[in-house]
Amino acid sequence: MSDRVCSGCGVALQSLDPTAPGFIPPEKAGAALLCRRCYRLVHYGSFEGTEAGADFPGLVRAVAGKADLALLVTDFFDLEGSLALDWPSLLSRRIILLVNKSDLIPPRTPRREVAAWAGALWQRRFPSHSLEAVKTVSTKEKGFGPEGGIDFRSFSLPPGGRVVVAGASNTGKSSLLRLLLGTGGTGKQRGKTAVAPTVSAYPGTTQGVTGWKWEKYGIELFDTPGLVPGTRMADHLCPACAGKLLPGRRLNVKLWELPPGGAVLFGDLVACRNLSSSPRTMVFFAGDRVTLHRTSASKAETLLAEAPDWLRVTCPECSGWSGKRLEQVVEIEPGQEFYISGLGWLGVKKEPAALQLLVPEKVEAGLRPALLGGERTPV
């Protein structure tokens, strides 16, 4: 890694082309270690898109290849999307699975249960690669769950050992680096006093690799760019819309009785309609900035007749993609959920239901065992 790397996002710094990635004004280039994009993100919260083209999977593979241990950061809100890439082959290392954003887990669900659920999903997807550990963490609350933190001493890392932090975009890798470095790290990069890794609600914040010495354990931690599985709702939206799908402080949870033919809309993205012949008690989960909207049977009928236009995304940058929706008809039982990767999920209480779902194409969606304890966990 060259010295001329933005310590916030890892992009190679340059002072020649203000429109190209990694620009730093020439007068700042001597002292500052932050590219202009990170500077604006950190100070004004404004996001400038970056050009695609860098081979992020190749970059992660290369860093992991030289590492002794990998921390795979996943997002509690979208575990399927977090595990939609072939992580065992990308990392080819001992892996600790971290379920981040556990502050969003409703208080009545033990975090341990979510860790076990994530471990079971991993096993279903990657049966031949076992994990070193699964832990819940909340970088927001600045702490690990009841499974405890990571004691790097127990992994017999060699002196100067290397630990790579990897994961899908927006799962909280850079936030985790901040948490770890804040509790024993020096915050030094290549001998210079550096700022912390840049964090933002927009996917694609980290653009390259940054290395951080962690003197407490005598090891080096590496932040890496988030990979884009292409199966999550956010992967098909512009960065501003993608950021809005993330729950900030809490989940948006609605417990509703849906009459026969009645529908619930997740923003202007997904529709769910009750095809059963009697009302069904259902629970809906989304981010706190996604509107959950309930419509009667007659209104839903009219809306559906106009499909797919009625679910058109209002953002002009995203609307080209959003018209195409696939219909799924499912029979769902208590103890199961229907998830829409990166957008949320829904479940039934008391009795099974037949549902019609309209989900944008390319977004992974389907039935799963309930993450939040199904019947046992009232919300």
Q: Given the rule CB under 6 A, which residues bind ligand GTP?
A: 100-101, 103-104, 138-140, 167, 169-175, 199-201, 203-206, 225-226, 246
Which does residue 344 bind out of Zn ion, ligand GTP, Mg ion, none, counting CB within 5 to 8 angstroms by kind?
A: none
**From the list Zn ion, ligand GTP, Mg ion, none, which binds 274 (C-beta under 5 to 8 Å, kind-based)?**
none
Q: Is 33 in the site for Zn ion (CB under 5 A)?
A: no
Q: How far is the CB of 118 from ligand GTP (least distance, A)?
A: 15
Does residue number 315 form part of the binding site for Zn ion (CB under 5 A)?
yes
Q: Which does 139 bind (CB under 5 to 8 A by kind): ligand GTP, Mg ion, Zn ion, none?
A: ligand GTP
Contacts of 206 (CB under 8 A, 6+ apart): 9, 10, 173, 174, 197, 198, 223, 224, 225, 226
Distance CA 98, CA 374 (A): 23
CA distance 318 to 243: 13
CB of 72 to Mg ion, least distance (A): 14
Amino acid letter for position 98: L
Q: How far is the CB of 287 from ligand GTP (least distance, A)?
A: 10
Contact map string, positions 251 to 280, toward Zn ion, x by CB under 5 A: ------------------------------
325: left (phi over 0), alpha (psi -120 to 50) or beta: beta
Distance (Å, rounded) from C-alpha 148 to C-alpha 15? 44
Alpha carbon of 178 to those of 99, 152, 223, 259, 319: distances in Å? Answer: 16, 17, 10, 47, 35
Asked if 245 is part of the footprint of Zn ion (rule: CB under 5 A), the reply reads no
Closest to Zn ion by CB, 109 or 200: 200
Whichever of 41 and 286 has its CB closer to Mg ion, that residue is 41
Q: Least distance in Å: CB of 175 to ligand GTP?
A: 3
Question: Which of these, 344, 332, 330, lies nearest to 374 by C-alpha position?
Answer: 332
Q: Is 238 in the site for Zn ion (CB under 5 A)?
A: yes
Residues 206 and 59: their CA atoms lie apart, in Å, by 12
Tell me which of Zn ion, Mg ion, ligand GTP, none is bound by residue 241, counting a contact when its beta carbon lies within the kind-specific cut-off of 5 to 8 angstroms. Zn ion
Judged by DSSP in three states, 335 sits in coil
Q: Which of 179, 187, 190 is nearest to 73 (CA)?
A: 179
- Alpha-carbon torsion (65, 66, 69, 72), positive or negative: negative
Q: Does residue number 95 form part of the binding site for Zn ion (CB under 5 A)? A: no
Looking at the Cβ atoms of 100 and 274, the one nearer to ligand GTP is 100
Nearer to ligand GTP, 69 or 104 (CB): 104
- Residue 46 within binding range of Zn ion, rule CB under 5 A: no
The Cβ-side half-sphere exposure at 326, using a 13 Å CA radius, reads 10
Cβ atoms of 379 and 253 within 8 Å: the answer is yes
* From the list Zn ion, Mg ion, ligand GTP, none, partner contacted by residue 292 (C-beta under 5 to 8 A by kind): none
Nearest residue relative to ligand GTP (C-beta) = 226
Question: What b/e string do you get for 249-288 counting C-beta neighbours within 10 Å, with b at 16 or more?
Answer: eebbeeebebbebbbbbbbbbbbbbbebeeebebbbbbbe
Nearer to Zn ion, 15 or 281 (CB): 15
Size of the site for Zn ion (CB under 5 A): 10
Binding stretches for Zn ion (CB under 5 A): 6, 8-9, 35, 38, 238, 241, 315, 317-318
